[in-house]
Structure 1
Amino acid sequence: MAGSRCSRKVRLTAFIAIFFAFFATGSSTAQVPLLMWSSDGLPPLALPAAGHIISNDQLTAYLTTALGSGPHTVLLFLQDKLSKDDFTVFGGVFGNKQDSAFQNLEAAVQTSSSSVTLPALEWSGSSAILALLQEKLGVSPLLVDADTLSHLSINTSVSNLLLINLPYCTGLHKSCKEVLHNNDEIIGEVLGIMKAKNVPYTAIYTGLQPSRVISEMSVSDQSVGRSLLQAIGPDVRPIMFNVSGSPCIMLWAQNLNISLSSSSAWIDLATETPSLTGSMCNSSNSVLVLNYSSGYILSFAMSQRFYPVSARNWFTLDSVQLQFNGLTASFIGRRGIYAPAEYSFHCQSVNSFQDALLVPNNTNQNTTQWRLKFIDFQIQGFGLANGTNFSYANDCAGFFTPGIWMGLLTSLLMLLIFVYGLHMIMQLNTMDRFDDPKGPSISVPQSE
């Protein structure tokens, strides 16, 4: 029994890990996630490689195996829209599990006899999955809700396709998390009714269409140069620490590279899924603590204060701590890591060894060789008024970059040359006499 519980926990961990592995990859193909679990059992399915999108043919082949023999009762939870980012943002993966909007869903996957997770299923149309199940089961769908299902007599000797429609958040709703939480309550209620009726079932949770479509931009279409980030694209979601359901701290980095010595290889923590145990925030101080399963702990300490000279509040990244195997390396944000309190801070490169914005604060020989290198780094610890988006970013790069200075100086030099040449031309005078020096001089006799 203990072994069974352990395996279920492993499956749930794999479920979350797969979502984040695919969350880190981009694609131009519209896709929806699909979760499938059963009270009886499902045939095994090899975990897809990161970045792989399951095609409709592959799904058809698997459903043929799973639903090919004997009658089946299938519960299809069909949400209006669904993307894997919904699990990332509202699933409580980064923070407290009790704050997750999918508690009943996660519990159902964990306690089922077997489950299959497809984080990226090729989306070909709103009715594709429903038509596919109708074909495999040979029955028409029956639209039900929890109240109808509680009074419905289910004949297990024939196949049944029970359709439960779930809404998605729109501008009329207070928040997406609230809508998804209500949907999760419906899922839990329906599964409870099936358990009370002692009816074996296979459940599928997916979307009619993706809630977020990731578009891929060619290199020639991308803008070249520095840009300030107000909002990261819909295909990318930052790490968020919430307090009372509201975002308090947000962090995004393309790479969170660490190295424990100058000769060791870089380790990218951005590829792992952290928990936020130990994080806190209030009106004057914020601490974001990233706890990784590999044993690394990365902490960002920020504070804000009022500066009379500018007559406004500014926040600073005071320190970054890296802990591993009982050792702690501390790095101070010496210069440049600051922004108005209502802004975010962005920098293309933040490191501790070259043009360092982070200065080591340890005298311990074991930690003075530790190095940090954050690529495309953005953080905000105060004034998060835009929900899931960063506020306007204060960039670490000055407005006059080396390229701009070179262009200005070159233009100034050319202007000076032009002005000098123009001045020389204006100083030229034409001759007022045209004498022939070889001929006799001109004499004009005078008469008295």
Structure 2
Amino acid sequence: MAENRIHARERLLSFMLLFSVGLSTVRSTAQVPLLIWSTDSLPPLASPSAGHISSDQELTAYLSPVFASGPHTVLLFLQEKLSKDDLTRYGGVFGNKQDSAFKNLEAALQSSSSVAFPALEWRSPSAITALLEAELRASPVLADPDTLSHLSIDVSVNNLMLINLPYCSDSLKSCKELLRNNDEVLGKVLSVVQTKGVPYISIYTGQQPSRVISETAVPQEKMGRSLLQAVEADVKPPIIFNMTGQPCIMLWAQNLNVSTKSGEWIDLATQTPQLTGSCSPSNSQLVLSYPSGYVLSFSMSQRFYPVSARNWFSLDTVELEVGGVSASYAGSRGIYAPAEYSFRCQSVNNFQDALLVRNNTNSSLSVWSLNFIDFQIQGFGLNNGTNFSYASDCASFFTPAIWMGLLTSLLMLLIFLYGLHMIMQLNTMDRFDDPKGPFISVPQSE
């Protein structure tokens, strides 16, 4: 239970962080935030890139499959005005949680399945209501806590309950108090619906933004460094092998280059393989059979090491088979990671800084080569069928660039110390000529 609260709190924090994203090419855009939570499980929503403003079409594309699953009771908390600054300024995520104006809203997001559209393009005050009417094919019913407590809700049909909430004046104190009152109304409505035992989907948004802020348009793309834990839209999905309906092995590579007797390189990553294999707590094997006749096998194992007090997995062998002839390679040089991690390496090959060492003694197989580019694999501890766990990279910490920087810094330090030593050895003169004494007379001879 405590772990669920932590995850919910982290999810809420990520929502609020998305509300305060900084932007760079200035333009004026009207937008409102929109929060959705439900007693049932909601489908996940991909994290928007920095500065992304969601359109009505994106919201419709998300809600359509949600509402298509059967009759729903939707609670629409429609505030007169709302902007993302209101949530971050008066909320308790960045400030004092005890003084938050959105205690009931934050509690509902933490305890339910929830998603957020941090910036939804605003067109008109009735746009959200019209969209929900079209999706649910139901007219909105104005409601408040007292009305709902005496209202009979038919769960066999779609219901749209509209709860209008006012907005505040320019006074900071009165604004926070009014938003706190709105939050109390929200809490009472949810309490009444839960008491009736009615499953619901709640939406909290604004009829219009409380302020139109200057924002920047940035390219709609992810920025920064990322591994395959977050698979991007233009990246091909990883190979996933399922055992008894659960994912147990994942593999991804930009290129799976193999070369046999002909010396010609073939990229197997461009082909779709058939998957076979096996999984157990101590061993796992993934076999990729390609239409071109090539077969790649990856065998992994995990063991407990008392020194580190944890389980580690290793890629023991990689086997390439073509036309009944196979070559085996041992992953004996650093292809390992903690059992709950994945292993990643920019290049895994058997000929340059080789991580794969040939097992076969047959000389005719000596020309066979493997070169896997941007390679990542995980054979144990898969908790999610779409994402790798944290990646343990094969790159060593002391790279040539780091060694060069360390040696250069050491040389500069030695020069500085030598100069300082020379300065410390300088001594002032302890004897001087007396200007008041007799002058030296030098007789001159004619």
With the shorter chain as reference, the TM-score category is: 0.3 to 0.5
TM-score scaled by length of structure 1? 0.46
TM-score scaled by length of structure 2? 0.46
